[in-house]
Amino acid sequence: MTDPKRDMLRHTLATLAYRGRKAIADAPESFAMFRVVESARTPAEILAHVGDLFDWALSLARGEHAWHDSTPQPWRQEAARFFETLGAFDTCLASDRPLGTSPEQLFQGPVADALTHIGQIALLRRLAGAPIRGENYFAADIVAGRVGPDQAMPRREF
């Protein structure tokens, strides 16, 4: 029997993977270090933080509380880490293992934070002169469990 709350979290992760792939794929080499103002994070720092969020989410789901601030890696490695950490957390949610904290807390903490940061990366793409195309995400082919870099093609971009 499936848990509707876990199912919704897994769909949210698939949404993050879809939107995240769009925000990070094909970014110019210089984008990773783009900084709007000196006090703002670079896209590479933001993406490293997102990886840290999903490492933390996995630890919370296992009943632990382990937080690590990672030093950003080169952009392609951070992109790969994004999908790896997302996949590890999704695998945990797909299992029968009891969660160490509530699905609501997992959503309100690391998952919601990641949604914010993927939006920041998309905005920074535009500010850096490398915008992504807008899309009707309601029509997107997003499926729980599809959390890797291979995502469906956009159905309705503008």
CATH number at residue 114: 1.20.120.450
Residue 10 lies in a domain: yes
SS3 157: strand
Residue 155 lies in a domain: no
Kindly give the residue spans of alpha helices, DSSP state H, lying in the chain. Answer: 4-24, 43-61, 75-94, 103-106, 112-127
Strands (E), the chain: none
Residue 77 lies in a domain: yes
Residue 89 lies in a domain: yes
Q: Which tokens hold the place of 19? A: 């939107």
Q: Dump pLDDT digits (tens) for 52-100.
A: 999 999 999 999 999 999 999 999 999 999 999 999 999 999 999 999 9
- Total domains in the fold of the chain: 1
Closest of 138, 158, 130 to residue 19, by C-alpha? 138
Residue 147 lies in a domain: no
What is the span of the domain harbouring residue 13? Answer: 4-139
Measured in residues, the chain has a length of 158
Q: What is the pTM of this model?
A: 0.96
Residue 66 lies in a domain: yes
